[in-house]
């Protein structure tokens, strides 16, 4: 199965407790929002469930870390651009003050 939807700010990730241990993802909080609900097969050993949950967690952590790195790069670029603009303005003011 392959399905696509777009996350919105109101998207949620919820989980249910063991022994059912569901994982539910909704892209927004509207009642008609698509929902992906993952469950384990009945009788799957808890240690196997834990191993799967650890793999899912690692994948989500990598996803989050990549987004965080992109945000940091964007902030750094914006900060450097702002600093360059300030320096240009300072140099222009210095030049204009020196000509008078």
pLDDT tens digit string along 37-78? 999 999 999 999 999 999 999 999 999 999 999 999 998 998
Q: Which residue has the tokens 């992906």?
A: 36
Query: How far apart are alpha carbons 9 and 29 in whole angstroms?
Result: 9
Decide: 66 and 52 in contact? Cβ < 8 Å. no
Q: Could you tell me what percent of the chain has a pLDDT over 90?
A: 79
Total-model pTM: 0.71
Q: What CA–CA distance (Å, rounded) separates 46 from 22?
A: 13
Banded model confidence at residue 2, pLDDT cuts 50, 70, 90: confident
């Amino acid at each position: 199965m392959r399905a696509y939807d777009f996350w919105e700010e109101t998207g949620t990730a919820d989980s249910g407790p063991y022994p059912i241990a569901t994982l539910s993802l909704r892209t927004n909080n509207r009642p008609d929002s698509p929902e992906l609900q993952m469950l384990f097969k009945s009788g799957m050993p808890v240690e196997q469930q834990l191993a799967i949950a650890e793999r899912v967690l690692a994948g989500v952590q990598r996803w989050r870390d990549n987004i965080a790195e992109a945000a940091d790069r964007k902030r750094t670029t914006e900060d450097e651009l702002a600093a360059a603009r300030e320096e240009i303005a300072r140099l222009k003011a210095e030049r204009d003050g020196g000509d008078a």
